[in-house]
């Protein structure tokens, strides 16, 4: 099973992905947590480019594809070993961010047709103003107008991904982290079979 956590910068994804990981592990399941951009060679190039702003949207898009192709190998291996895989960002981010940068969403979907399909996508929805207040450093993506556009695409995700039959949940992430974590666990606990259910 693949569970993807998504949301704009500052939505609290990384904290929530960690909390969900701990809950699933406690429930007795084998679970792995992976992040994108990855910690590999392409991930590093991507982070440097986003920080500097020195790239074309198409060049950045292609780097994400390369990074993800390598990551997909790890995902497949983990799935074969019986792990539940949590992804802190996946191609849903590419649809939202690179879509907002003008790459056609139909092309993004086509280029990802051979990638493992998520079972559940949880989108942490927060208004960009709140999200920006949470961020210490700001890179080139982290401005209100751009994040508004990214958010708009995230909110359209049920329609964009309709044919893939993915369980998509959009949750209000303007609330306390503990409450959000509880919500996420309630979504996930019914979908997994672990040794001893919490
Ligand atoms: P990262 O350094 O992991 O920060 P965060 O913890 O805020 O996610 O993220 C890198 C940035 O990359 C983030 O602003 C979102 C963006 N991104 C894309 O534009 N497309 C993608 O496909 C992915 C995975 C991330």
**Conformational region of residue 184, where left means phi above 0, alpha means psi within -120 to 50, and beta covers everything else:** alpha
Domains of the chain: 2-188 (3.40.50.300)
Q: Give 54-83 pLDDT, tens digit per residue.
A: 999 999 999 999 999 999 999 999 999 999
Cα–Cα distance measured from residue 26 to residue 195, given in angstroms and rounded to the nearest whole number: 9
Q: Which of 93, 111, 139 to mutate to test the pocket of ligand 1 (most atoms within 8 A of CB)?
A: 93
pLDDT for the residue 195:
61
Contact 84, 31 (CB under 8 A): yes
Q: Give 20-42 pLDDT, tens digit per residue.
A: 999 999 999 999 999 999 999 99
The residue nearest atom 2 of ligand 1, judged by CA position, is 47
**What is the 198 CA–ligand 1 centroid distance (Å)?**
32
For the CA of 10, the closest atom of ligand 1 is 7
The residue nearest atom 9 of ligand 1, judged by CA position, is 37
Q: Give 104-159 pLDDT, tens digit per residue.
A: 999 999 999 999 999 999 999 999 999 999 887 677 788 999 999 999 999 999 99
pLDDT for the residue 197:
46
pLDDT for the residue 134:
87
Q: Which of 85, 68, 79, 74 is nearest to 3 (CA)?
A: 85
Task: Return phi, psi of residue 2, to 5°.
Answer: -115, 125
Task: Determine whether the shortest distance from the Cβ of 47 to ligand 1 is under 6 A.
Answer: yes
Question: pTM higher than 0.85 for the full model?
Answer: yes
pLDDT for the residue 11:
96
The residue nearest atom 1 of ligand 1, judged by CA position, is 37
Q: How large is the average pLDDT for residues 71-96?
A: 98
Neighbour count for residue 178 (Cβ, 10 Å): 9
Q: How large is the average pLDDT for residues 156-180?
A: 97
The residue nearest atom 19 of ligand 1, judged by CA position, is 97
pLDDT for the residue 194:
75
The residue nearest atom 22 of ligand 1, judged by CA position, is 94
Task: Determine whether the shortest distance from the Cβ of 147 to ligand 1 is under 6 A.
Answer: no
For the CA of 64, the closest atom of ligand 1 is 22
pLDDT for the residue 140:
76
Contact 5, 168 (CB under 8 A): no
Task: Determine whether the shortest distance from the Cβ of 36 to ligand 1 is under 6 A.
Answer: yes
Q: Is 140 helix (H, G, I), strand (E, B) or coil?
A: coil
With a cut of 70, say whether residue 196 has pLDDT above it. no
């Amino acid at each position: 099973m693949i569970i993807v956590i998504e949301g704009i910068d500052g939505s609290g994804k990384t904290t929530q992905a960690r909390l969900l990981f701990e809950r699933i592990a406690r429930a007795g399941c084998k679970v792995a947590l992976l992040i994108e951009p990855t910690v590999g060679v392409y991930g590093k190039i991507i982070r440097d480019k986003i920080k500097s702003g020195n790239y074309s949207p198409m060049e950045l898009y292609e780097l994400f594809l390369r990074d993800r192709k390598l990551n997909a190998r790890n995902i497949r291996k983990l799935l074969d070993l019986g792990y539940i895989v949590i992804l802190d960002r996946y191609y849903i981010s590419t649809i939202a961010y690179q879509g907002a940068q003008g790459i056609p969403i139909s092309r993004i979907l086509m280029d990802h047709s051979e990638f493992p399909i998520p079972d559940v996508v949880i989108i942490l929805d927060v208004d960009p103003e709140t999200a920006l207040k949470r961020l210490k450093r700001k890179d080139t993506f982290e401005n209100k107008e751009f994040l508004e556009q990214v958010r708009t695409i995230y909110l359209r995700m049920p329609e964009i991904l309709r044919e893939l039959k993915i369980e998509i949940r959009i949750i209000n992430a303007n609330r306390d982290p503990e409450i959000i974590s509880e919500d996420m666990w309630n979504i996930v606990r019914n979908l997994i079979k672990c040794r001893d259910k919490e």
